[in-house]
Amino acid sequence: MSKTYARIIGTGSYLPEKVMTNHELEQIVDTTDAWIQERTGIRERRIAAEGQTTADLAEQAARIALKEAGVAPEEVDLLILGTTTPDIVFPSTACLLQHRLGCGDCAAFDVNAACSGFIYGLSIANQYIQAGTAKTVLVIGAETLSRMLDWNDRSTCVLFGDGAGAVVLRADQTPGILSTHIHANGAYADLLGADVGVSRGFKENEKNAGLRVHMRGNEVFKVAVRTLGRIVDETLKANDMTQSQIDWLIPHQANLRIIQATAKKLSMPMERVIVTVDKHGNTSAASVPLALDEAVRGGSVKPGEHLLLEAFGGGFTWGSALVRY
């Protein structure tokens, strides 16, 4: 019996209209364009308009992906949304999105794995398709992280942006997703996160109830570089492949220095690495599908090429997917 694979048959992305440059941030917080670019590689990021939600961004990306795939919404068997910034506590933003798109009564749920949310969603979708319980799956990563930033904290507010990316997967006998690998380690929770919530409670008399990203950047950087190096090895070993067989690295767009370190691990020239962090900043769960869509639309990625997708996020969580496009 031949193996069933999940193949990417359509991609899409959406960015809010408002562009915030480093020069604009210089007017808000004690920083400079030169400092931000040197430390992160970021030049600008997109900021959601007032009243524009995660579901709004996700809907636009999803519609584009469905159109590119030639798939009607009612054909979707499963909808997975990676996000840490849902519209409301419940129903899930995936359920809200499912209704907007007209996907019928297929299963729909959010995955909160911070910046690894899309990779986690891709891994789940792959399992469903391989098991034969879904044929067509819509996976989205979408965030409005600007809503949980302290604009007086120069260590975090310069890093993040808003956006959404999506892919449509379909069951196929031709190899598509070759393997996925997801991990987590809650021991590092204090290094990156937001320490308020429904059960723990919110902070009274603070704007947005004290919902703010906190990060110990130097420690996060060190762990991220080590961890992503290990998952590169794990992915290659699982597929009996060498570094030279990877055509494109499509990494989480958090920091250019982390991206460069991962490329060095693969002995891959930066010309074979998709970089969008300069234009988008860190869009968390949206960053990998955004970068993938840009690579596909720009004509960089060609059919038959091997793509290594990877991400690392608060939790800590991390994951990878090896894809034959």
Catalytic-labelled residue, pool 22, 112, 255, 282: 282
Residue type at 225 in one-letter notation: V
**Single-letter residue type at 136:** T
Query: Catalytic: which of 115, 126, 181, 255?
Result: 115
With H, G, I as helix, E, B as strand and everything else as coil, classify residue 309.
Answer: strand
Note if 239 is an active site residue. Answer: no
Q: Which residues contact 221 (CB under 8 A, 6 or more apart)?
A: 255, 257, 258
Which stretches within the chain are classed as H helix?
22-26, 33-40, 54-69, 93-101, 117-131, 217-238, 256-265, 277-280, 287-297
Is the separation of the CB atoms in 102 and 76 below 8 Å? no
Query: For this structure, is 214 an active site residue?
Result: no
**Which residue carries 């480093």 as its tokens?**
22
Strand pairing of 248-251 and 306-313? parallel
Q: Is 115 a catalytic residue?
A: yes
| Catalytic residue of the set 22, 252, 255, 280 | 252
Query: Which residues on adjacent β-strands are paired with residue 140?
Result: 81, 166
Positions annotated as catalytic residues are 115, 252, 282
